[in-house]
Amino acid sequence: MAASAVTENEALATQAPYAPVTIERRVRSNLETKLPKPYMPRALVAPDTDHPTGTVGHQHRDMSVLQQHVAFFDQDYNGIVYPWETFAGLRAIGFNLIASVVMTVLINGPLSYPTLPGWIPSPFFPIHIYNIHKAKHGSDSGTYDTEGRIANKLEWGLLYVLARDEEGMLSKEAVRRCFDGSLFEYCARMNTVGRAKMG
């Protein structure tokens, strides 16, 4: 056996003595007990260790997590999100009139064409939920653009405005629920209850 050969135990090592950060930031050993097969991507739910089956009570309707995120805005459940539906959804979750108009243009404008079933553009700027995967950002993860910059600073800023707590913190739960769209349902429900209390 050569001196450079790696044993099976070394191949599974999570700490490197010459890289102190690997010792400071240890890999969780209990992940497999809290979240079955944590390495496996989930298509229908957005799980974490506290919610291994995704958001409790949220119906996935056999859509991917990305499709669920967009489906909140589909007011008539036909699989297509028109600008007026995006506007109504943004108003329902609590954004003001001006912000809702601006965000509707910024959302439906660039996302419409990539999601169309054909190559002829539509003057109504519809977003087809079935093809929403075609409108992801340019990188593999969907988080960074081709130059490595964060392409969705605006999205994170809007999420912060929408879901921050009283101390100005954005919880892990709010971020997870944003992925599957259940955060939007929750915010819309809270705004409806708030308006009902005000009379």
Lowest mean pLDDT among 10-19, 82-91, 107-116: 10-19
- Residue spans per domain, the chain: 39-198
| pLDDT of 3 | 47
Collapsed DSSP state (helix, strand, coil) of residue 128: strand
Q: Measured between alpha carbons, how far is residue 171 from residues 13, 41, 62, 168, 179 in Å? A: 31, 22, 27, 10, 13
Instruction: Give the chain's length.
Output: 199
The DSSP secondary-structure symbol of 144 reads B
pLDDT of residue 140: 52
Answer with the residue of higher pLDDT: 117 or 49.
Answer: 117
Residue found under tokens 């950002």: 137
Query: What average pLDDT does range 86-102 have in this prediction?
Result: 97
Find the angle CA(191)-CA(169)-CA(107) to the nearest 5 degrees: 55
Instruction: Tell me the backbone φ, ψ of residue 128, rounded to 5 degrees.
Output: -90, 115
Mean pLDDT of 105-122: 96
Rounded mean pLDDT, 1-13: 62
| Predicted pLDDT of residue 129 | 97
Can you tell me the distance from the alpha carbon of 144 to that of 156, in angstroms, rounded to the nearest whole number?
13
How far, in whole angstroms, is CA 111 from its chain's centroid? 15
Q: Which residues of 46-81 are buried (b: 16+ CB within 10 A; e: fewer)?
A: bbeeebeebbeebebeebbbbbbbbbbbbeeeebbb
* Structure tokens given for 67: 């499709």
Q: Is 101's pLDDT higher than 70?
A: yes
Rounded CA gap, 127 and 105, in Å? 12
> pLDDT tens across 124-144, in order?
999 999 999 998 765 555 555
Nearest to 26 by CA among 11, 39, 16: 16
**Structure token pair of residue 32:** 């497999």
What H or E segment, with its residue span, contains residue 106? Answer: helix 97-115
pLDDT at 29: 79
Q: For residue 185, name the pLDDT band (cuts at 50, 70, 90).
A: very high
* pLDDT given for residue 199 in this prediction: 59
Judged on CB neighbours under 10 Å (0-12, 13-18, 19+), 3 is exposed
